[in-house]
Amino acid sequence: MLKIDRLRVLFVVLLALTVVTGVMAAGGSSKPQQTEPTDAEEELELTPEQRAEQRYNTGISMRDRAWKLQKKAADADDAAKAKIEKKIAKSYKSAAREFEQAVALKPDFYQAYSSLGYSLRKIGDYENSLVAYGHALEIEPGYTEAIEYRGEAYLGLHRLDEARAAYLQLFDIDRAKADELMEAMHEWLEHHAAGSGLAAESVDSFRGWVAERAEMATQNASLRTGQRSNW
């Protein structure tokens, strides 16, 4: 009986030594396992401005994805194009949601307002796109990207006088953006004028104005090139 008790004591001592040795090998007392912060926890640590930038960048990524899909759709057959166009619309809708979050976090974020207007315009929501462009230009009146985008929205709504005004404004301050809007005007005349519901006289008047302004832009570009060559 005494021998059995001694064996039990020896077993307990050996077991205790094993536990202590394991703890020491682990570097002392055990510590609770540390977990990585979640995305939501990391976002809470950011300032509203930083979170707005984060949302904006995500929106730009969604917009860029739509651009890539548009290039893919250009070479696709009709069946494939229909599927791709659904993905394009989905990407623009996702981008719009991100830009909406960005301006909610940072109300003076005029670039995000402009990109919001662009995304809304691309899914056919012209009226709300104009509202977004309006906010962008209230904050930064000289932001030519928003002026050009708004000009294209006016074309989408067949508001030709306002599209003209946007072009003239751009022509004086950003010739490259004016050229982009002029290209959109040519596209409107080619693909959308017939179904616009506007009187033939209005369309013809606009067509003549576009031709006249395009010629003037070409002459001015040639003049500037000639002036530079004489320097």
Q: What b/e sequence results for 187-218 when a residue is b if at least 16 CB atoms lie within 10 Å of its CB, and e otherwise?
A: ebbeeebeebeeeeeebeebeeebeebeeebe
Mean pLDDT of 25-49: 61
Q: What is the pLDDT of residue 53?
A: 98
Rounded to whole angstroms, the Cα distance separating 202 from 194 reads 11
Q: Please, where are the H alpha helices in the chain? A: 2-25, 39-44, 48-74, 78-105, 110-122, 126-139, 144-156, 160-173, 175-191, 200-229
- pLDDT tens digit string along 64-89? 999 999 999 999 998 899 999 999 99
Say if residue 19's pLDDT is above 60. no
Residue 219's pLDDT band (boundaries 50, 70, 90)? confident
Q: What is the pLDDT of residues 96-155, one digit of tens each?
A: 999 999 999 999 999 999 999 999 999 999 999 999 999 999 999 999 999 999 999 999
Measured CA to CA, the distance from residue 41 to residue 56 in angstroms comes to 19
| pLDDT value, residue 204 | 97
Nearest to 142 by CA among 115, 110, 164: 110
